[in-house]
Structure 1
Amino acid sequence: MANFTREDLAFNGYSQKIDLTNNSDCTEIFDHIYIDKTEEFQIIHFCNQFLEKYKVPQTKASFQKVESFLQHPELENEVHKDHLQDWIASNWIKI
């Protein structure tokens, strides 16, 4: 999986409720079907996971593109990971 970090995020102001550097067992949280788009570590994990799953370029620009898609008005109230991934994948070239 891609390994971008908080330093690679385009936006700031995310919550830092979970610190994976101190608790590696927290990765189980990321296997759930929903994402909290205000939580920094969930955003990082989601973006890295998307880059791997959809075989898009593993670049910082692609990582930030996924992050910016999560802010798209059409996804404002969407929290289901599969739907978010599908929407981003289908709009990757369009937007």
Structure 2
Amino acid sequence: MLLRARADTWIQVRERNGGSVLFNRVLRPGETYRVPDRTGLVMTTGNAGGLEVLVEGEALPSLGGQGVVRRDLPLEPAALRQAVAALPR
């Protein structure tokens, strides 16, 4: 799974249930972060519209608009696809 910034976007990737933080910073346009291939990770972003998520090379639908905060999105492919499908549009 790859996270790619389309605009300045703060993201935090951590272990579920308040565990260790693996990544916590602002991605600038064009920068990417490859999510470790392991279970139990979640992501929070401060600019859902500025972030593109690619799973197995396929871009998922938008996580939301510019400046929209999304918290605790699961970073397992099937769970993330399901969570994105359920997001308000």
TM-score of the two chains, using structure 2 as the length reference: 0.39
Q: Which protein has the bigger helix share?
A: 1
TM-score of the two chains, using structure 1 as the length reference: 0.38
Q: Which protein has the bigger strand share?
A: 2
